[in-house]
Structure 1
Amino acid sequence: MERQILFMTDEEFDVLDELYFVTPFGVLRETIGWAPAKLIPVLDSIYRKGWIKIMKTIDDELPEGQIDLNNHADEYFFLATKSGLLAHNS
């Protein structure tokens, strides 16, 4: 099995830095100080890398097919995954 090495951008690092605990989109946006147009693509990128979970509530992860960041990001909560935390701390 070949292991894939994933590169982390500075923006991805900054977002992951805020997701050690379940965080709603609005709080993340305010804390990081980015417009949704900048934040949403970064969230999408780190989600596709498996570094975050996207959740409908603080307890309920959304299945991949139900996620629509472009239209509903402000309704979601985010949390770094174990692999995201490991990538962030490497």
Structure 2
Amino acid sequence: MTDDEFDLLDELYFLQSYEYLKETLGWEHSRLVATLDLLYAKEFVKCYSAPDTEVFGEVNLERDGHRFYYLATKMGLLKHNAL
């Protein structure tokens, strides 16, 4: 797990919006969505279109990532805590 992945997962113990993550981490859009995309591909995060609506299937985070909320999965939290 990269430092960026670790830092991002650190913010996802609770559901967070894209804007919250961008502001809190101070990352540019490309860095944030690239890291989210890596974590999503590893099934370490889930995407939500609204706080109570999970998005299933393929997502295009480069195009739509700013619209989503994010939450670490159980597997993501276990990996994060193992380090």
TM bin, normalised by shorter chain, reads over 0.9
- Residue-pair matches, total: 82
Gaps of 5+ in 2: none
Rounded to whole Å, the distance in 1 between the matches of 2:30 and 2:77 is 24
Q: Unpaired runs of 5+ in structure 1?
A: 1-7
Moved over 4 A (4+): none
SS of the equivalent of 1:11 reads helix
Once the two structures are superposed, residues 17-74 of structure 1 have per-residue CA deviations (whole angstroms, 9 ceiling, x without a partner) of: 0000000000110001100111111000011111000110111111123x12111111
Using the alignment, how far apart are the partners of 2:2 and 2:55 within structure 1? 25
Residue in 2 that maps onto 1:88? 80
**Corresponding residue of 1:10:** 3
Normalised by the length of structure 1, the TM-score is 0.88
Identical residues among aligned pairs (%): 43
1:55 aligns with 2:55: no
Secondary structure of 2:70's match? Answer: strand
Q: Which has the higher strand share?
A: 2
Specify the alignment match of 2:17 in structure 1: 24
SS at match of 2:54: coil
Q: CA RMSD in A?
A: 0.7
Alignment of 1:61-76 (within 5 A): 61-65=54-58, 67-76=59-68
